[in-house]
Chains A and B, each alone.
Chain A
Amino acid sequence: MNDVSLPSQQSYVQPKTIEPQTPPPAPKHRPWTSTRVVGTTWLTLWIAAGLGIIWFLLNSNHVALVFGGEGLLPVSITHNATFLSRYGEKFISGFFVTLQLVSVSMLLGVLLSIPLTIMRMSKSRILGGIAYAYVYFFRGTPLLAQVFLLYYGAGSFREPLQSVDLWWFFRDAWNCAILAFTLNTAAYQVEILRGSIESMPKGQWEAADALGLPKWLTFWKIILPQALIVSLRPYGNEIILMIKGSAIVAIITIYDLMGETRRAFSRTYDFQAYVWAAIAYLVMVETLRRAWDRIEDRLTRHLKR
């Protein structure tokens, strides 16, 4: 600022300066408003529930309450010191089956989603229509129905499949699960990719055109890198959805984390099976979510001020 002397203004009012005041005293106690009461009660309940679960897990490794027995008392007490020692290893192997299922089908889904996105965004109405129908079908029907359609439905075509020597593929639940999950996630990934590419402002294309860059180079060097940054978050969400969705393969006799849990529960009727599974899934999803946040932070650091 330059020193601009203002024309002196005659003030008729005597400026009244007040002594600097001491700030108002801080309230000694935060008042117990109704929201604070509700919040504290709720939080206490969560903590109590958490402690209760820990107590339950500790306790039930010595004594387990068992329900569902045939006979007089549906609830009985058995000594069951061996739940973890008996099923711990199976849980870990189930955990890895889940990871494998999700990562394999995610990667295959990426491969499949690229040609589908090209089809979906092409000017050809036929190709675009096919890709649209594909995406609509896989996003509009439950994953469970898709898995059943592939796994059980393949049985309707046993002879033709045998004649082209593909029956071995569909006979195996694991292959069907991978196939169903790949097809499903590819449909979601098409929408993620398409959405992020279309969200790029037109000016990006125009500026590249003005620089004389060919279309493919513009796409490869300018549009795609920015689009992938935009699609980071939806991709992370999709992985989480896949982890959660993968639990249903337990129904078609695959022993993933959920499958092992169901097997352990059906043998022992011990509820801690489900509690352990819940803990494992929560840890898995939360870890991934936080790791993904950090990856996103790192990759978008040039966009932050």
Chain B
Amino acid sequence: MNEALTLLSFGDMGWGDEIALGVVTTVSLALASLPIGLLLGFLLALAKKSEEPSLRAAANVYTTIFRGLPELLTLFLVYYGGQILIQQVLSLFGDVYFEVNAFLAGMIALSLVFSSYASEAFLSAFRAINKGQYEGAAALGLGYGQTMRLVILPQLVRLALPALSNLWLILLKETSLVSIIGLADIIRYSNMAARTTKEPFLFFSVACAIYLVLAIISSGGISRLDAWAKRGEAHK
């Protein structure tokens, strides 16, 4: 027991500080992907509910691809594919060696996946909003932007929140994949610690426990957010 505590302590003897760094990477990667994914997902949902068939088709191709590919493969496609593409473009200008940042690749890949799922969440929320809301807003003389901002979005947030919070929890877990392309997240440091100390079970249990704690913290935040989104509803 004491030995395990030493291994997990901060400082030279333990891996606590490294794992803490990994937690920072994991959380910041998830937090960085979230806004991009949400924005893209919202725009995709707008495209999918538009009356223009070509726009709907294009948005559906996007979701089919990024919901159908394994997340790991999306990550590899972005990481290696991006590397090759940029390298080829750069090679037109001469010999420049360029390495794609693993964090950036992870962020892009996770945002792509997140946005395709989020678009479905937004779309079903849009469908749950009564047509009368648009008509009422039009009757009040609100323009498209005002209708969206003042009437639709507040309801959309409330309706899409349960699905989106689920997606956030999934995103948090999916960040673990970036350890495979070498980004130093929780799993990567646990792996390093496990190899060095020959205590794999201890370190991977700690990694799992950290993810659980992150999930529990998120759930707390989500339920507060949910209460905030539902503040307009009558108490039952």
Contacts and interface: CB of A to CB of B under 8 A. Distances in A.
Interface of A: 33, 35-36, 38-40, 42-43, 45-46, 65, 67, 72-75, 136-137, 140-146, 148-149, 152-157, 243-248, 250-251, 258, 261, 265, 271, 274, 277-278, 281-282, 285-286, 289
Given A75-B87, A142-B174, A156-B201, A136 B212 contact: yes
Nearest to B77: A274
Nearest to B186: A145
B212 A140 contact: yes
14 contacts: A35-B52, A40-B54, A43-B54, A73-B91, A75-B87, A141-B208, A144-B177, A148-B200, A149-B201, A153-B201, A258-B73, A265-B80, A286-B64, A286-B68
Interface stretch (B7-15, B55-63, B155-163): B55-63
B73 A278 contact: yes
A35 B55 contact: yes
How big is chain B's contact interface, by range?
35 or more
Given A67-B87, A271-B80, A274-B81, A148 B204 contact: yes
A65 B84 CA distance: 9
Interface string B57-85: 11101001101111111001100110110
Contact of B55 (A38, A72, A136): A38
A156 B199 contact: yes
Contacts of B191: 148, 152
Contacts of A156: 199-202
B101 interface: no
A286 B69 CA distance: 10
B93 interface: no
B215 to A, nearest CB: 4
**Secondary structure call for the A interface:** helix
B80 A145 contact: no
**Secondary structure call for the B interface:** helix
Contact of A65 (B59, B73, B80, B88): B88
Given A74-B97, A149-B205, A286-B64, 4 more contacts: A140-B215, A247-B71, A281-B70, A282-B64
A247 B73 contact: yes
B87 A74 contact: yes
A286 to B, nearest CB: 6
Interface centre among A40, A156, A243, A277 (most CB of B within 10 A): A156
Contact of B204 (A143, A153, A246, A250): A153
Contact of A248 (B68, B81, B177, B199): B177
B207 A145 contact: yes
B23 interface: no
Contacts of A261: 73
B55 A153 contact: no
A145 B176 contact: yes
Contacts of A250: 72
Contacts of A33: 52
